[in-house]
Structure 1
Amino acid sequence: MLAKAIFLDIGGIVLEINWRKTVEALGVFDRSQQDQIWSVLGSAKIHLELERGNATPQEFFAFVRSELKLSPEAPLEEAWNQLILGPLPQVDQIFDRYAGRVPLYALSNTNRPHYDYFMKQFPVMKRFDRILTSFELGHRKPDSEIYMAAATEVGLSPSEIVFIDDSPANVDAAGRLGFRSFHSVNSVSATLEILQRHFSN
């Protein structure tokens, strides 16, 4: 069966992400302290629920302010968005080569503040045919439900979709469901090599 669509993760595939930039924007520069903060924030239940659309940004930011003992004036949403550095170098090559020829979708664990930020700041994000987000689908990778919901949304079976993600766990989960699933991290050339094996130039 021929592949008919492309699913790309956003962070590490299209945009460069560095969570330390958020912690630095909050005034913390000691790396061990940064690790401690992110181990709390990154794995907090409310963060995961924010990405599933089950918690509001206001609830999440209130949790962060309380957990880190931040003042009400701290620019928390601005700091939260600082982890999104911008498009990977040459990432437009993916869209130049495949946009208009193969449906290009994003499938991402993300949240409303990050979504609003990258859609406003980075024009490359508007080159996707559609962006499928965890907070809209109600599940997050590597939950099996998000992959199947995304495939249903675009009207294709998993075996017809080439999926590329920077997380081995996400890649493995998609592969078990029948997606043509591949790993790439911060490398447009590696992503292009994968796509070239499935789609003609």
Structure 2
Amino acid sequence: MSARVLLCDLGGVLFDFDHPHRLRILARACGSSPERIHALLWESDFGAGSDEGRYPTAAEVRVRIRAVIGFPGTDDELDAAWCAAYRPNPAVIDTLISGHGLPMAVFTNNGPLEEDALPRLHSQAFAPFDRLFFSHRLGHRKPHPAAFAAVTMGLGVVPGDIVFIDDSGANVAAARRHGWQAVRFRTPGTLAETVREYAADVQPSLDRELGDRHGRETGMPSGPGGA
């Protein structure tokens, strides 16, 4: 069991996700109810459309939100309210920066407003990650096969080189169908076990690769007895 990239879901893994909290904040700001805000933005096709790239920029998403629910505050206030659903999970972040040696990336079903605002609001949580894959740039959300294909291509690896952590069983199953190694997130403790399992193979894999490269360059076999 080896990997070249550790790929992590955002909401429900790297961040705790509390949608009702966001609804309450938006409703309070707009003088409305959480139920009405949810109906207008998430029972319509707005939320899914944003995640799939219908609105190319964060500015366009803000304009649409204001038009739909009448949010009266500044852009910064809207960003904070919209992203109030997301709170970094310190135990997960500590596990992911534990020196396992794997490059890391994020793969999330989210739109341009989240991509613009979350890394600004929570810069330390995003700092360890080499790449961020937001679904609005892919044109599809998980678990659509095209989303997994686009991320694989973006990472520049073969599917089996990817270890994917997601809290959704449907997303994990779709990732496995695409050839990824995928694990469903349960707790920070089980995540730590998963990271240790894959990290244990990182250095041996690198040693084998370097040995093979040395053999190709010198014409000498690698491994025991190769010197």
User: TM-score per shorter chain, which class?
Assistant: 0.7 to 0.9
Structure 2: segments with no counterpart, 5+ residues: 202-227
Residues 191 and 43 of structure 1: is their aligned pair in 2 closer, same or farther, counting only changes over 3 Å? Answer: farther
Q: State the AA in 1 paired with 2:46.
A: I
Q: Which residue of 2 aligns with 1:142?
A: 143
- 2:43 & 2:174 partners in 1: Cα distance? 19
Q: CA deviation at 1:87?
A: 3.2
Q: Report SS of the residue matched to 1:181.
A: strand
- 1:34 & 1:27 partners in 2: Cα distance? 5
Higher helix share: 2
Q: State the AA in 2 paired with 1:124.
A: A
Identity level (%): 25
Q: Which residue of 2 aligns with 1:179?
A: 180
Residues 18 and 12 of structure 1: is their aligned pair in 2 closer, same or farther, counting only changes over 3 Å? Answer: same
Structure 1: segments with no counterpart, 5+ residues: none
| TM value normalised by structure 2 | 0.74
Across the aligned residues of Structure 1 and Structure 2, the Cα RMSD in angstroms comes to 2.5
- 1:126 & 1:188 partners in 2: Cα distance? 19
Rg larger in structure: 2
**Given that residues 13 and 184 in structure 1 are in contact (C-alpha distance below 8 angstroms), is that contact kept between their aligned partners in structure 2?**
yes
User: How many residues matched?
Assistant: 193
Question: Are 1:26 and 2:26 matched, yes or no?
Answer: yes
- 1:39 & 1:182 partners in 2: Cα distance? 32
* Counterpart pick for 1:83 among 79, 82, 85: 85
Q: CA deviation at 1:167?
A: 1.2
Residues 164 and 90 of structure 1: is their aligned pair in 2 closer, same or farther, counting only changes over 3 Å? Answer: closer
Q: CA deviation at 1:44?
A: 3.0
- 1:27 & 1:49 partners in 2: Cα distance? 21
User: Deviation string for 1:127-154 (max 9, x for gaps)?
Assistant: 1111111122222111111111111111
Question: Are 1:2 and 2:40 matched, yes or no?
Answer: no
- 2:176 & 2:35 partners in 1: Cα distance? 31
| TM value normalised by structure 1 | 0.82
Q: State the AA in 1 paired with 2:53.
A: G
- 2:53 & 2:87 partners in 1: Cα distance? 23
- 1:167 & 1:41 partners in 2: Cα distance? 22
Q: Which has the higher contact order (CA 8 A, sep 6+)?
A: 1
Residues 92 and 58 of structure 1: is their aligned pair in 2 closer, same or farther, counting only changes over 3 Å? Answer: same
Q: State the AA in 1 paired with 2:20.
A: R
